Each structure stands twice: as structure tokens, then as C-alpha cells.
């Protein structure tokens, strides 16, 4: 069985993309001590987690549990390594879309993962790591992520009014801590942004990676950062202007491509 199981199930917009890029980029250096599982290896599990956050029905939760069990069976025993899973979608959809104002699905999903991991690997330490962020920066980042990645047409004020109660990530983390055995470790993005490895550093600590190994790992630039406001407003305008999905996506790709080509001072 693994030396330990460390699960990082979110939350969205808290440096998760940067953390995962650190793990991916340094996978060869960590291979002897960690088995790293990122989004690309658990697409079906993520789909079920999102589905449960939408429907909240026993059937979809059972599907999530079945797929999590299958994932653990697939990765094998790894007696000398730590199994590390990182995907913010393991807490469900990013709040702010219709019918999902908060992270109330996250404790249920975390509880299922803890239960199944405990059954399959009795005696193995199971640790959860949650990345958090201050409420207002998180709200702004979540709003623009929806504008960029979906067809959202709501204005900022309306989004903030309905989503702000669910933007308290500390309360969400507290609920996860109640749902799983042991300690849920957490770190705010603001508290680790200056570290060369960002929010990945506390995760690597939980995985038992020595400081001297971490010091040799390569940092990565911040990933999935917020665009300039003019670009975001153009994306919002495109969402409002095009009802046809293909036309809307083409317009938004053109906006993002033009922004990518624009030189910055």
C-alpha cells in the first residue's frame, strides 16, 4: 500500500493550476518518492464530481465512489511512495454557475474519498490539503473565470451578490474537516505566494519531500492568471452578443489570441 495518500481537492482559483504545473514539471525528480495523479488521469472521476455537485443524487455519488475506487485500483500499491492526487474539480464545479452557489458538495465528496481510501488501504495515513484565498480576490477571479470559460452574461454586481456567501473558503474547509477523519491541512494563497514553489510547497511537505529535494525543484510561472480588465470585458461582451455557441467561442478565441499577441511594457 502507499506510504501515505495526500489529496488536494481544491479549491478553485487558489493557485491550483500553478501547483499542478509544479508537480507536472518536476515529476521526474519526484518519481522515486511520489506517484502524482493530475486531471488528465482522472477525467471520468472529475466528471462524476461535477455531476454530483449539480444533481446531489445518490446515483451520481455512487458513480463518483465507484470511479474513485477504480482509480486507486489502477494506480496500484506503491509501498515506498506517496500517492498524491490534485484536482480542484474533486470538490465539484466552481461556484457561481446556476444552482451551485457554494462548495457544499465538497465535504460529501471528500468523505467518500476518505472512506474508500481507508477501506482499500487500511492503516495508510490519509491527508487532505486545501488551498484557500481571501474572499474578495477569490470572487473576482471566479467571476472572470466563468466569463472566460462559459457563456456567462451576468454583471459583476449580480454575481457577487449571489455568490459572496459561498466565497468563504474557510467555512468550506471547516465543513470538509468535519467530514473526513484526521486533520485537514490548509494554506492561503496569500501566505505562500512569495515561495518559489508557491502553494505546492506545503503539499510537498505533507508528502514528506525533504527540504533539500524541494530546493532543487524548478519553479514555474504563475498559471491561469487573470487577464487584463479590457480583455475580460471584451469576453463578457462576446458572451452577450452571440447566442450561437460556435460563433461565441470563435469570437472569444479571437479576443484571447489578440491579447496574447499584444506586447506589454
Per-residue model confidence as pLDDT tens digits over 126-170? 999 999 999 999 999 999 999 999 999 999 999 999 999 999 999
pLDDT-derived band of residue 15, with 50, 70 and 90 as boundaries?
Answer: very high
Q: Is the pLDDT of residue 263 over 70?
A: no
Q: What is the mean pLDDT of residues 41-59?
A: 98
> In this structure, what C-alpha cell is assigned to residue 178?
468535519
Q: Is the pLDDT of residue 238 over 70?
A: yes
Phi and psi torsions of 8, nearest 5°: -110, 95
Residue 81's closest CA among 194, 166, 168, 1? 1
Query: Per this entry, what is the length of the chain?
Result: 265
More confident residue, 227 or 252: 252
Share of residues in the chain with pLDDT > 90 (%):
91
Q: With respect to CATH, is domain 4-138+165-220 assigned 2.60.40? A: no
Helices and strands (DSSP H and E) totals, the chain: 13, 5
The pLDDT of residue 226 is 74
Q: Is the pLDDT of residue 42 over 70?
A: yes
CA atoms within 13 A on the CB side of 33: 13
> In this structure, what C-alpha cell is assigned to residue 102?
457554494
The pLDDT of residue 134 is 97
The pLDDT of residue 79 is 86
* Cα–Cα dist 246/28, whole Å: 39
pTM: 0.95
Share of residues in the chain with pLDDT > 70 (%):
98
Helix (H) or strand (E) holding 43: helix 43-55
> In this structure, what C-alpha cell is assigned to residue 167?
466565497
Residue 241's closest CA among 109, 233, 37? 233
Domain boundaries, the chain: 4-138+165-220
> In this structure, what C-alpha cell is assigned to residue 77?
500499491
Q: Is the pLDDT of residue 93 over 60?
A: yes
The pLDDT of residue 8 is 98
Amino acid at each position: 500500500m502507499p506510504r501515505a495518500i495526500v489529496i488536494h481537492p481544491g479549491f478553485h482559483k487558489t493557485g491550483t493550476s500553478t501547483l499542478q504545473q509544479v508537480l507536472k514539471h518536476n515529476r521526474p525528480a519526484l518519481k522515486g518518492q511520489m506517484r502524482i495523479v493530475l486531471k488528465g488521469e482522472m477525467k471520468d472521476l472529475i466528471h462524476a464530481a461535477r455531476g454530483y455537485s449539480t444533481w446531489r443524487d445518490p446515483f451520481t455519488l455512487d458513480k463518483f465512489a465507484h470511479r474513485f475506487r477504480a482509480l486507486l485500483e489502477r494506480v496500484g500499491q506503491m509501498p515506498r511512495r506517496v500517492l498524491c492526487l490534485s484536482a480542484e474539480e474533486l470538490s465539484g464545479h466552481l461556484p457561481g454557475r446556476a444552482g451551485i452557489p457554494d462548495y457544499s458538495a465538497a465535504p460529501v465528496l471528500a468523505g467518500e474519498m476518505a472512506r474508500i481510501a481507508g477501506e482499500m488501504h487500511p492503516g495508510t495515513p490519509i491527508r487532505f490539503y486545501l488551498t484557500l484565498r481571501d474572499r474578495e480576490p477569490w470572487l473576482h477571479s471566479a467571476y472572470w473565470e466563468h466569463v472566460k470559460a462559459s457563456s456567462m452574461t451576468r454583471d459583476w454586481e449580480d454575481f457577487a451578490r449571489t455568490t459572496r456567501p459561498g466565497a468563504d473558503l474557510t467555512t468550506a474547509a471547516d465543513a470538509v474537516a468535519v467530514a473526513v477523519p484526521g486533520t485537514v491541512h490548509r494554506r492561503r494563497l496569500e501566505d505562500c505566494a512569495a515561495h518559489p514553489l508557491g502553494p505546492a510547497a506545503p503539499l510537498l511537505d505533507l508528502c514528506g519531500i525533504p527540504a533539500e529535494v524541494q530546493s532543487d525543484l524548478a519553479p514555474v510561472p504563475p498559471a491561469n492568471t487573470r487577464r487584463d480588465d479590457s480583455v475580460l470585458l471584451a469576453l463578457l461582451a462576446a458572451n452577450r452578443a452571440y447566442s450561437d455557441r460556435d460563433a461565441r467561442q470563435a469570437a472569444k478565441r479571437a479576443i484571447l489570441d489578440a491579447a496574447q499577441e499584444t506586447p506589454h511594457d
